Amino acid sequence: MLILQSIILGIPQGALYGLMAFGIALIFKSVGVMNFSHGHAGMIATFFAFTVYSITNNLFISILSALILGFY
């Protein structure tokens, strides 16, 4: 049961790592310069979502606000 739970919880984490690596590789191939700002934008959006969730205790509003801030 623990193996199945680890696999199920690991798939979204692996997908996130893959998307981050794809973004870095895409920018490097198109511009020729390494740009690690993806982590910065993700961390700011995560911190903002945590702050909004701490204030409102509403998961939907915190995720929506983090997506809006992340795309900005």
DSSP letter for 36, please.
-
* Side-chain half-sphere exposure of 46, counting CA atoms within 13 A: 6
Cα dist. 28→19, 23, 41, 44, 66 in Å? 14, 9, 17, 22, 26
- H-type helices in 2-36, by residue range? 2-31
Res 48: pLDDT: 92
Q: What is the mean pLDDT of the chain?
A: 88
Residue length, the chain?
72
Res 14: pLDDT: 92
Res 70: pLDDT: 79
Angle at 21 between CA 69 and CA 17, to 5 degrees: 75
| Digit-coded pLDDT (tens) for 19-50 | 888 988 988 899 888 877 777 887 888 899 99
Res 39: pLDDT: 76
